[in-house]
Chain A
């Protein structure tokens, strides 16, 4: 178990280092002369090169990488080219906003998806299963902005229940729902498609297994068979899927935050990429990777704790 965890932790760190290389390199090949971009077309060439030197963008790449990564570790994330504000506080503030939206969506939909996935599996082939499956199948396919637009047209424009652009809610629960519900629905629907499908598939595999047959032929009550024998084994793989979905969520947030004008990380990533705001882009990309890797790590640890095969491996 300890060995397993150390190995996973090591792999996560190595992957993060690799990703930081990649992020750095991509940011470097973004077109455009930084000094020229910031000083404007009327600056002289010497002014531009002096400014470049100040920024350090004229030094060799390995040196730049090292400077960047050590600064990043020390919490010095630089100035945004576009907004001329320090990167770090902005990223954290936006991250919190996104986290609020993402967590709202995930917490609401997770129990529903798993529950309905299991119900569909227990009811395999019957009406309930077909309904859940066909709805899930359709939802997976729909891009978030399509669902978002349809929701906006109906609930904001026609019915006027929700604002057309969402802002960060206050602590008031009514305001939370008012601001976050509409943008989180597209996220929830797509998540529902994935998670319920996975929960259903896992449950069916478990239902058809020999150990479930053993449990039934032991004469155990149905609820005991389902709870102790079926679900205990079928929900394990769902944990991994949920963690993979965290990565998906980050991507979907880019779209949703743009559509709803919500001030979150996703929009920050998009704006900094489009605006070639290198320090901001580097910081946000690295954060995206860290979030994803950490959620995977957490899922692995959880799985290891729940699965005796891993827990008991020396």
Chain B
């Protein structure tokens, strides 16, 4: 045993942390123990509010002023970090332990050159002189694969792209080859292709440096990819721990199982299988729970679970679970709610037709075509999934369709009416037929009104109901249809959870039987366990024959819910077709790189990853010819640069915009999957 302890880089014992708020102590971390071995990557996963970041900050000994460590030890380098003074910590920070967190743009000093910021670490920790520190900084930039390191040293943070800023953060963190690196949601908020780039870097750096890593993430797919060991945090408790592969393959805690089940997996779609959400929500911060923290949401829970707190039970093989009935977890069936009729298939009737739609914005005397030229059709009862990274113009397209902004060119016809004629916009029939569900449930509902009055307002305006009793009855019905309890009707948005708010927002869109609802990233602000419930709800509501345009950056979600998919890049559609066809070869090289970039838990992904070079070009100055040519892994040469590619049709029914015909594309993409394409940036 003593040998094992000696190889632990970090040993957290019985850590218990509370936040002092208005004289009360609210417990956020409850008796957490974990060990990170030298050179190991330990992934700590959990939904928002479970205490992940508090653990990370405690490990760095950089807790907010109102945090109180009630109990526990954090052993690092033979000393208890919790007992060190500022001077001792300063010798560890940046030298022995370092951290990289979300949003590197704000983590770099805007008024200092990159070189000076990195060189500081060398100068204060290794006592290098100015010249030597700058040279060392340059070679660090090479290690994080920055092209033109000499030039970048002299730049200021705002002159770099998001991906480059991330690399700088890693260069700074690893400058002194620390024993411990804490990564707190390092890729959250990044576009898929940039995220993939950063994760590649992490993997490469792990090979170069023998650093132990604490990797905090809500994304199980990323943790599965990076980490050997994983701990699952729920309501401040470590509820399951073990080797990442084992835990994800056969979870031994119902919560872990729930997390794994609620994300859409390969091969699942709304017709074949319902998603299996975790019922209920996270207990409130500081709530006193006598039994198991998960009992309220658990299908296995019995009286014992509510009466007695389960200990962390050792299961052998380095695994442990905080569940009395961990042996039953593998046999758990999907919850009964999970079997409902699939939605009816879409009809052939075309509901919405966009013809060469253009939307330009003017800013700083410059015209930016957010939507450059998009033509598409949505049939009645169909879900049209729209995917693309930031700057692709998906949200601008949505705004044009619902009429929040006027298109600059092209036509929109909806239910055989031409919406470009603006007088139609004001007609009530159209308003009730065309509604929208927004991304952010916190801002989509006016905080000044109760849910009831928000719904009644929508019923008045969309359904033309005015009598008090009718309004009352209909709003109850509406709430029930989105599974909101009637007691929620009288509370204000701030009193509801994210999922409940999103239900209210959906109810409002359905106040006057809509024919087309635009869903703009409707689940991306929600925790995964809630996402599944909202997706199920949207699928259920389709029995009324409604169509959706479903915008998302999450390919798995789109693949699950959409019948038809469009892939956007820099304001134009690159590819469009039936969902399964778009996801299978051959397809546009951009689609392939998006698929490669997504970190999923699906084990079958044996093929090599396609990586894009460079950053997404600015939509105000798009590349000539094919807009994707600057980053394309299958770039042919001048033809891509000078000529706009034609539409090509594959046998399975998807159309894509590329110079390469389907047969050739298939061969090239298969080759790509064989070898991967690591184009240096």
Residues of A bordering B, CB below 8 Å: 209-211, 213-222, 224, 228-229, 232-233, 236, 306-309, 312
Is A211 a contact partner of B106 (Cβ separation < 8 A)?
A: yes
- Given A218-B94, A233-B110, 10 other A-B residues pairs in contact with their CB atoms under 8 A: A211-B109, A214-B107, A215-B120, A216-B93, A217-B94, A218-B124, A224-B124, A228-B109, A229-B109, A308-B158
Chain A proximity of B458: nearest CB distance (Å)? 40
Complex: A220 Cα to B124 Cα, angstroms: 7
Is B121 a contact partner of A218 (Cβ separation < 8 A)?
A: yes
Is A218 a contact partner of B108 (Cβ separation < 8 A)?
A: no
In B24-75, the 8 Å CB interface with A consists of 60, 62
The answer to whether the Cβ of B348 comes within 8 Å of any Cβ in the partner chain is no
For chain B, the count of residues having a C-beta within 8 Å of the partner chain is 30
Is A228 a contact partner of B112 (Cβ separation < 8 A)?
A: yes
Give the residues in chain B near A224, CB-CB below 8 Å.
120, 124
Is B107 a contact partner of A312 (Cβ separation < 8 A)?
A: no
Give the residues in chain A near B92, CB-CB below 8 Å.
219
Is B90 a contact partner of A312 (Cβ separation < 8 A)?
A: no
B97-105, B127-135, B321-329, B337-345 - interface stretch: B97-105
Residue of A nearest to B96 (CB): A219
Is B156 a contact partner of A309 (Cβ separation < 8 A)?
A: yes
Complex: A212 Cα to B130 Cα, angstroms: 22
Residue of B nearest to A230 (CB): B109
Is B62 a contact partner of A308 (Cβ separation < 8 A)?
A: no
Give the residues in chain B near A218, CB-CB below 8 Å.
93-94, 98, 120-121, 124, 172
Chain A proximity of B244: nearest CB distance (Å)? 27
Chain B proximity of A125: nearest CB distance (Å)? 9
In B107-126, the 8 Å CB interface with A consists of 107-112, 120-121, 124-125
The answer to whether the Cβ of B253 comes within 8 Å of any Cβ in the partner chain is no
Give the residues in chain A near B158, CB-CB below 8 Å.
308-309
The answer to whether the Cβ of B95 comes within 8 Å of any Cβ in the partner chain is yes
Is A214 a contact partner of B112 (Cβ separation < 8 A)?
A: no
A-B contact pairs, 24 of them (CB 8 A): A210-B106, A211-B107, A215-B109, A217-B93, A217-B99, A218-B93, A218-B94, A218-B98, A218-B120, A218-B172, A219-B89, A219-B90, A219-B93, A219-B125, A222-B86, A224-B120, A228-B109, A229-B109, A233-B109, A233-B111, A306-B111, A308-B156, A308-B158, A309-B110
Give the residues in chain A near B109, CB-CB below 8 Å.
211, 214-215, 228-229, 232-233
Q: Which one, A221, A306, A308, contacts B124 given CB within 8 A?
A: A221
Give the residues in chain B near A228, CB-CB below 8 Å.
109, 112, 120
Is B108 a contact partner of A214 (Cβ separation < 8 A)?
A: yes
Complex: A214 Cα to B106 Cα, angstroms: 10
Considering the complex of A and B, which 7 residue pairs feature the smallest CB-CB distances, nearest first? A219-B94, A219-B93, A218-B94, A210-B106, A210-B107, A211-B109, A308-B156
Residues of B bordering A, CB below 8 Å: 60, 62, 86, 89-95, 98-99, 101, 103, 106-112, 120-121, 124-125, 156, 158-159, 169, 172
Do A312 and B159 form a contact, CB below 8 Å, given A214-B109, A220-B94?
A: yes
Chain A proximity of B177: nearest CB distance (Å)? 14
Complex: A213 Cα to B121 Cα, angstroms: 14
Complex: A167 Cα to B677 Cα, angstroms: 82
Chain A proximity of B499: nearest CB distance (Å)? 29
Is B93 a contact partner of A211 (Cβ separation < 8 A)?
A: no
Chain B proximity of A229: nearest CB distance (Å)? 5
Is A219 a contact partner of B124 (Cβ separation < 8 A)?
A: yes
Complex: A91 Cα to B484 Cα, angstroms: 74
Do A211 and B124 form a contact, CB below 8 Å, given A216-B62, A219-B92, A312-B159?
A: no
Chain A proximity of B235: nearest CB distance (Å)? 26
Is B111 a contact partner of A232 (Cβ separation < 8 A)?
A: yes
Give the residues in chain B near A215, CB-CB below 8 Å.
109, 120
Is A211 a contact partner of B121 (Cβ separation < 8 A)?
A: no
Complex: A286 Cα to B95 Cα, angstroms: 60
Give the residues in chain A near B62, CB-CB below 8 Å.
213, 216-217
Chain A proximity of B403: nearest CB distance (Å)? 36
Give the residues in chain B near A312, CB-CB below 8 Å.
156, 159
Give the residues in chain B near A236, CB-CB below 8 Å.
111
Is A220 a contact partner of B120 (Cβ separation < 8 A)?
A: yes
Q: Which one, B90, B95, B106, contacts A209 given CB within 8 A?
A: B106
Chain A proximity of B387: nearest CB distance (Å)? 30
Chain A proximity of B237: nearest CB distance (Å)? 27
Give the residues in chain B near A219, CB-CB below 8 Å.
89-95, 121, 124-125
Give the residues in chain A near B121, CB-CB below 8 Å.
218-219
Residue of A nearest to B95 (CB): A219
Give the residues in chain B near A210, CB-CB below 8 Å.
101, 103, 106-107
Give the residues in chain B near A209, CB-CB below 8 Å.
106
Residue of A nearest to B93 (CB): A219
Chain B proximity of A28: nearest CB distance (Å)? 38
Chain A proximity of B372: nearest CB distance (Å)? 26
Chain B proximity of A154: nearest CB distance (Å)? 42
Chain B proximity of A307: nearest CB distance (Å)? 7
Complex: A213 Cα to B101 Cα, angstroms: 10
Residue of B nearest to A214 (CB): B107
Is A221 a contact partner of B90 (Cβ separation < 8 A)?
A: yes
Complex: A210 Cα to B124 Cα, angstroms: 20
Give the residues in chain B near A309, CB-CB below 8 Å.
110, 156, 158
